Homo-oligomer: A and B are copies of this chain.
Amino acid sequence: MKRLDHLAVCIRDLEAALRVWRDGLGLEVVGIEDLPDRQVRVAMLRIGDTRIELVQPLSDASEVSRFLARHGEGLHHVAFAVEDVDGALAAATASGAVALPGAGQAGAGGTRVAFLHPRSANGVLVELVEQGRER
């Protein structure tokens, strides 16, 4: 476990959110991209050796829309950069954490990712991210 990769915040309106996080808090925007598969727009803001990701739904089909409808805007998950997602997941589950379905699947940019069930990690949705060669 070497680095906090990112912290994701679900938001409704990226332009409004950037006024707070970029203009108000002074975070540097290092990228904004649309992910059509997930129906989200993501702004990545750098802070030290980690990032805050502001995630806005592009349609009601997005899982983020469902999160917003249930919880409103707010923190969504915490991602840790790991060397080996299978090994990290094995260590976590050996200590009682429960993996969500799809663990080890391909993520964006050649990554491999796994999620821990929030009920097994003190209410926090934890992502494990193994960086691919592209990054």
Using a CB–CB cutoff of 8 Å, the interface residues on chain A facing chain B are 1-4, 7, 9-11, 17, 19-21, 23-27, 47-50, 52, 54, 71-75, 78, 80, 88, 91-97, 118, 120-124, 126
Contact = CB atoms under 8 A, between A and B. Distances in A.
Given A20-B122, A75-B124, 11 more contacts: A1-B27, A2-B47, A3-B47, A4-B47, A4-B50, A7-B78, A9-B122, A20-B121, A21-B121, A25-B126, A74-B122
A20 B120 contact: yes
User: How many subunits of this chain does the assembly comprise?
Assistant: 2
Contacts of A123: 9-10, 71-75
Contact of A54 (B2, B24, B122): B122
